[in-house]
Chains A and B, each alone.
Chain A
Amino acid sequence: MTNVRKVYRMGDTDVVALDHAELTVASDEIVALVGPSGSGKTTLCSIAGGILSATDGSVVVGDEEITGYSDKQLTRFRQNRVGFVFQSVNLVPFLTARENLLVVDELGRRQGRPARERADRLLDELGLADRAKNLPSQLSGGQKQRVAIGRALMNEPSLVLFDEPTSALDTKLGIQVMELIRSEMKSRGTAAIVVTHDERITEYCDRTVHIIDGVLAA
């Protein structure tokens, strides 16, 4: 991210949500993004993940410059280059764990058999092979989050964005999930940004970046 600004128009006034943000994440680096509510964490993640367009500045993910992309191009970019793990509403409630992973393929590349094999491999790696046919309602909080991590990795992304991945988990499960995130990202050489309020999470990340009032501070 180079010199990225995001300004929202609220009535007659401009609200700066992100102010000249400069952030580079290496290809296998895990960056913790820490800041209070309303500080601009979500805006930064949304821009990095191609959900929002920056008002100014340049955003490059992997080798892809997404600045100025249309909505259609951003949708395709999200299908192919980014993984998301959300804080809540994470899984489709009427799909099994395996089908939740395959949603990514259905919405994007439609590879069919290779995608099914990849979903099975990911579930196996995440220790969920025996839960593949379970619905989210039949999974524990930690298992759900592991399925979400698997889904985020389905499209072999350049960047995975984690939005408060442990906020709904107890400390022990939170640590397990963070260890899993770290090992999965490192083994794949995938960049990750972890949005968190919890300073304890930062020890599983390579670097912590603080954000206050839309301004990044290393």
Chain B
Amino acid sequence: MKLALKELVRRPGRFVTATVILTLIAMLLMFLGGLLDGLIRTSTGAISAQDADAIVYSDTSQASFLRSRIEPSTRAQIDQLEAVDETGGLGVVLLGARVPGNGPRDLANVAVWGYELAPTGVPNPPADGEAWADEILKADNVAIGDELLVGPARTPITVVGWVKNTSYTGQSALWTNVDTWRGVLDANRPDAVLADGVFQALVVRGAGGTPQEVVTAIDTALAGQVLALTVPDAINEIPGVTEQQTTFNQILGVTVVIALVVIALFFALLTVERTALYGMLKAIGARSRTIFAGLVAQAVVVTLIAALIAGGLVIVLDLLIPPGSIPLYISAGRIVTSIVLLLLAAVIGCAFSLRRVLRVDPASALGSSQ
């Protein structure tokens, strides 16, 4: 293995091509992963931020906020369950908002939330007519203190602070108190008006059990009345999320396979080129295992270098792209996952050269005049 690493250090030129190609593939992998994460976050941020064990919708709602209605009597039944500690009303309405200074047709897409229990990263509900705004609204030139005119009724809402990562179906969240949200709903969506005390959904915090136990307790007690989901399940029920994940994961999978093929081809060619050298080394006592381990070490180092360069470049790219322009979210977790996948591809790719290494005949070193 020392031999292989010395070759890397002393003959870096031989590995430049593979490193460049793998860097580009690693960048593609991380960028696509970042796009997937960004899309998912802009679709699901408001739900994944819920500090809750379960989200409860009405039974026939198919987990759609707009179709769901939770009556006060239903809420009271849930509140009485032993598995439940507290519940909070939750509702949303998706609208366009006029931003001061922007053109009349240049609307910012917003999701106006009314909430009782604060999600993670969101303060307690603000005063009437005020909202905590998701910071991606900065891309629409929104600033703290701005009064947004929401919906066709131009309901005024003043931004009083920023929150992060709480978008919903691609729209920026405005977190308001329940009365403000009802006011927006009444004024702009008369078809979806709710009576006082009625919410679209309930956020439920359990009394110590696991989220699944809380969900089961609600389902058992209110069978046929409500649809209780854990937060991850509620995220998956958001239209398009599963489809996006499936599509992107297939693209990411194909990208990893391409990396594997590149590594396999490169090291297969390198092995062919080194047949005479390997023959000589085997003749003087090198085991096939030692030679193959060296090959794997080279593949792993080359891939690691390529992946680290790609990680750095993707981070720089993320900093250069204006916030809100594309849904790109680069996380350490995504970069590490990509590196691990590429290293796995490197080892598997190298395995294709194993047979060739095993077949190198030490006798080829003798009687060879090439």
Contact = CB atoms under 8 A, between A and B. Distances in A.
A167 B369 contact: yes
B270 interface: no
B3 A79 contact: no
B290 A89 contact: no
B224 to A, nearest CB: 70
Interface in B238-294: 276-277, 279-287, 290
A92 B277 contact: yes
B365 interface: yes
A94 interface: yes
Interface of A: 41-42, 45-46, 49, 51-52, 72, 75-76, 78-80, 84, 86-90, 92-95, 99, 103-104, 106-108, 151, 161, 163-164, 167
Interface stretch (B4-12, B33-41, B93-101): B4-12
A78 B367 contact: no
A99 B366 CA distance: 22
B105 interface: no
Contact of A94 (B7, B280, B281, B365): B7
B363 interface: yes
Given A89-B276, A99-B6, 7 more contacts: A41-B367, A51-B283, A87-B367, A94-B7, A151-B284, A161-B366, A167-B369
B357 to A, nearest CB: 14
Interface of B: 2-3, 6-7, 10-11, 276-277, 279-287, 290, 362-363, 365-370
B368 A86 contact: yes
Contact of A75 (B277, B285, B366, B370): B285
Per DSSP, are chain B's interface residues mostly helix, strand or loop, or mixed?
helix
Which 3 pairs between the two chains have the least Cβ-Cβ distance? A79-B285, A42-B367, A89-B276
A95 B368 contact: no
27 contacts: A41-B367, A49-B283, A49-B366, A51-B362, A51-B363, A52-B363, A75-B287, A76-B285, A78-B362, A86-B280, A86-B366, A86-B368, A87-B369, A88-B276, A88-B369, A88-B370, A89-B365, A92-B3, A99-B6, A103-B281, A106-B2, A107-B281, A107-B286, A107-B287, A108-B285, A163-B366, A164-B369
A206 B223 CA distance: 101
Given A49-B283, A88-B368, A107-B290, A94 B6 contact: yes
A89 B280 contact: yes
Contact of A89 (B6, B11, B279): B279
